[in-house]
Amino acid sequence: MLEKISQAKVFGGWHQQFTHLSKVVNCSMRFAIYLPEEASSDNPVPVLYWLSGLTCTDENFMQKAAAFKAAAKLGIAIVAPDTSPRGKEVPDDADEAYDFGHGAGFYVDALQLPWKTHYQMYSYIVGELPDLIEAHFPVSKLRSISGHSMGGHGALVIGLRNSERYCSISAFSPISHPIDCPWGTKALSHYLGKDIELWKQYDAVELLKQAMARLPILVDQGEDDPFLASQLKPDLLLSAAERSGSDVKLRMQPGYDHSYFFIQSFIEDHLRFHAGFLHNQERAES
């Protein structure tokens, strides 16, 4: 059951926040949705799913990305889930570190105790959340996926592993090779255990090494991002894409960092990128 906790009109459409009890992550979850003005039961619109990064909630993108004007013009909805399960019953990092536990679900299905009871964010994003959105809102089953940093990692992995469910993928500053960076190895070892072969199914570089991407991918990366060399490694993503013949466009942006100022600067490009594929598929099915 959905509970609406806020709403505001913006560019003719509506931004709304909801909570619901998730069977997949076994706790209450929150998400936000932006619906453009023309969305109705007679005119369902396609959806872009946005996955946020470490420490974020649904609010970071919705409040800071300045995406609504373009989404309204393009006629697409945006759904932004939280980045992890939360609550007193949900285990957190013992030292309350920002890069693990609450706010840092890494969009994986955890296998290790105590994490596996709640940290099933991969299945939540792939299945339960879109099923809920499509059952309760005037949207179609046409979806694209995007994200930032940890969320960029999630968007790449989920899109690559579930190409039949999406029309396109994009990312800002994604953690491209989590099996070989401090953020990734910490999270994957705790959630999945010590078997690195299990980690590879949640690593975009490794997935591209194994097979050509079946969807178009756009990645923007700031050249002045402080995490560029140690955590993000977009050069490895591009190399894997080139070897597999995948359609990956990496744009290195001079002077930009890891912040939402960077995302604001290029979010319209990403929305137009996704809208093109979503509406082309819409026309093909009509």
**Residue positions annotated with a catalytic role:** 149, 225, 258
Distance, in Å, from the CA atom of 107 to the CA atom of 12, rounded to the nearest integer, reads 32
Contacts (Cβ under 8 Å, ≥6 apart) of 149? 53, 54, 172, 173, 174, 175, 227, 232, 258
CA–CA separation, 84 and 26 (whole Å)? 12
**Which residues pair with residue 218 across a beta bridge?**
170, 249
Alpha-carbon distance of 169 to 274, in angstroms, equals 8
Question: Which of 176, 139, 142 is closest to 160 using CA atoms?
Answer: 176
CA distances from 137 to 32, 154, 224, 235 (A): 12, 24, 39, 39
Q: What is the DSSP letter of 12?
A: T
From residue 116, alpha-carbon distances to 28, 120, 203, 224 in Å are 16, 7, 19, 36
**Could you tell me if 173 and 262 are in contact, meaning their C-beta atoms sit under 8 angstroms apart?**
yes
Tell me the torsion sign for CA atoms 106, 110, 115, 119: positive
